[in-house]
Amino acid sequence: MGNPNVGKSVVFSRLTGANVIASNYPGTTVDFSKGRLKLEKETVEIVDAPGTYSLEPSNKAEEVATKMLDTADIVINVIDATNLERNLYLTLELLEKHVLMVIVLNLWDETKHVGITIDYKKLQELIKIPIIPTVALTGEGIKQLVNSLKNATVNEKIKPTSHEGRWIEIGTLIKKVEKVEHKHHTFRDRLADITMNPITGIPFSILVILAAFWMVRQIGETLINYLFNPLFEQYYRPLITIISEILGDNIWHTILIGEYGKEIIFEESLGMLTTGLYVPIAMVLPYIIAFYFILSVLEDTGYMPRLATLVDNVFHKLGMHGHGIISVFLGLGCNVPGALSTRSLETRKQRFISATLLSIAVPCMAQTAMVFGVLGQFGVIYIALVFFVLATLYILLGIIMNHFVNGSSPEIFLEVPPYRRPSLQALLKKTWMRIRWFLKEAIPFLFFGVLLINILYHIGVMQVISQVLTPFMNTLFGLPGEATTSLLVGFLRKDLAVGTLIPLQLSAFQLVIAVTMLTIYFPCVATFAVLLRELGLKDLFKSTILMVATAGSVGFILRLILLGFP
């Protein structure tokens, strides 16, 4: 346990070998993860708790942390050595609970850079709890920490006291063990000033975001053109052709590869082995890799809290505060981690607005890939149109919900960590963890989706649905009845809709309507499951009504504007 952004997750990974996401901003860990550590004879379970400033929680993630305390046999209290005074508050609260405890003074190497000297042995004597200085990022001190676990102790002399009492105690401790030298302005300080001062900071943030998206596109396209497409065309196509010949004309061919006798087009043949693999791997994955790598750079340098400060004003008008931008960024990769991160917002109102807007107006990489895949051939202007509609919706709906959703939306109160140089190894590891997660989620759903469409087509259900809905779809949205298929499978995986939309030969404007509605109307099944857990059934129901209503109205309005009156 420990304050946010002190490196608990890094210590945890070092102890257990388990992979957990760590970033340079408070509130990366919103749920606990468990791992195992082998001591001499026994195996112990180690739990990584979300950060909390005190045992009186102020948001859902902190609640998780405080609840976990009751289940622990030994507490490993991780402290940021460069910020001893503030961190000791939680330490004192923990000491008052009389649980077996070990203290980890993490970021030990940083103290030298900022001119702080801590006499940790003296501190250890004073509070009578083992203290181990560590640099978790490099693994320094972890061995000593493991060895010290058996020495975990309780200091019975410490009695519960008031807030004031704790601060007085901390003051006395600090005076005895810590020396701070004044350091001159460093490059990091200047950078911190430039990026936070509104006059320079806002242009800087726009540049950073533009550069980030440009890089994502460059890296993504390069991966597609030079790696994934050649792989699929040169090695995979011959293999599929052979399988096609072996299978012959039957239902298995339709399900696995697509309609027999037709040329195999990976994007639209709608077979499990063709579209089911090509879309996630060769169309979406390259952008996921690129996006998460760039996002990790932004996260690990410590830029995100600064961005949150700069956009706080706008987000406050939408009923949230600046921290909401973190959910948006995570959601642009995949809505699931985005929805989870809403936990670090304080009130139900903020979480509801943030999660609903995320599902409606923040396209995940799969959705973005769908938009690009379907509209790319017509020109950038159509893609821009979709994103313009989504951005407008985010702001408009936010303002509306801020007025009508009950509850309070407290102001931003966020620690801004110092800039840190990200380690390439950590970046690659984090990117890989997120990619693995995508592969595990996306491929099964796509496989299942393709299978389902084929079965529904085969038994004729799709044709019936299409026919019944044709007049409805046509008048309201200017779309053919077959587009219903895309809307149905889009619930499973948005990227799958690419394969069902392309063969319909729609006009550019019709496609704009279709993909915009697809993005808005529902999040995918996986996000839905997370939302159910985070919001509860009642709020999810309200949120869903909003999603469907918005999708319908936006589709209809776009139809009127783009295609004219019926």
Partner 1 sequence: MTTNSIQLDKIPSKTKAKVQKINGGHGLIQKLQVMGIRTGQNIILSSKQPFRGPITIKINDRELTLGRGMAKKILVEVIE
Give the shortest CB-90-to-partner 1 separation in angstroms: 8
* The two three-digit tokens of residue 127, written as one number: 């509070």
Residues in contact with partner 1, counted by CB under 8 A, come to a total of 37
User: Does residue 201 touch partner 1 according to CB under 8 A?
Assistant: yes
8 Å CB contact between 329 and 209: no
The residues near 328 (Cβ < 8 Å, ≥ 6 apart) are: 338, 358, 362
Yes or no: say if 274 and 240 are a contact pair by the CB < 8 Å rule.
Answer: yes
Figure out which of the listed residues 31, 45, 58, 259 binds partner 1, where binding follows CB under 8 A: 58
Task: Give the residue carrying structure tokens 């379907």.
Answer: 374
Residue 376 makes contact with partner 1 by CB under 8 A: no
416 lies in the binding site for partner 1 (CB under 8 A):
yes
Which of 411, 459, 553, 561 lies at the binding interface for partner 1 (CB under 8 A)? 411
- Taking the least distance from each CB to partner 1, the nearer of 265 and 416 is 416
| Residue selected from 67, 86, 458, 533 as contacting partner 1 according to rule CB under 8 A | 86
114 binds partner 1 (CB under 8 A): yes
Judged by CB under 8 A, the chain residues 25 through 54 that form the site for partner 1 are 53-54
Min separation Cβ 411 and partner 1, Å: 2
Binding-site member from 15, 281, 310, 386 for partner 1 (CB under 8 A): 310
Shortest Cβ 191–partner 1 spacing (Å): 12
Q: Which is nearer to partner 1, 86 or 150 (CB)?
A: 86
b vs e for 381-413, b when ≥16 Cβ sit within 10 Å of the residue's Cβ? ebbebbeebbeebbeebbeebbeebeeebeebe
User: Strand 74-80 to strand 100-106: parallel, antiparallel, or no bridges (unpaired)?
Assistant: parallel
The answer to the question of residue 100 lying near partner 1 (CB under 8 A) is no
Question: DSSP of 483-546, one letter per residue?
Answer: HHHHHHHHTT-TTHHHHHHGGG---HHHHHHHHHHHHHH---HHHHHHHHHHH-HHHHHHHHHH
**In the complex with partner 1, which residue's Cβ is closer, 59 or 296?**
59
Which one among 100, 126, 191, 192 touches partner 1, defined by CB under 8 A?
Answer: 192
Q: Tell me how far, at minimum, the Cβ of 274 lies from partner 1, in Å.
A: 50
Q: Give the Å distances, CA to CA, from 462 to 252, 374, 455, 515.
A: 19, 22, 9, 20
> Site for partner 1 (CB under 8 A): which residue of 197, 241, 475, 507?
197
Whole-number minimum distance, CB 343 to partner 1, in Å? 18
Amino acid at 233: E
Interior angle at CA 24, CA 369 and CA 202, nearest 5? 70
- Separation between Cα atoms, residue 125 and residue 112, nearest integer Å: 22
Footprint of partner 1 (CB under 8 A): 53-54, 56, 58, 82-83, 85-86, 89, 114, 163, 167, 180, 192-193, 196-198, 201, 305, 308-310, 312-313, 316, 321-322, 410-418
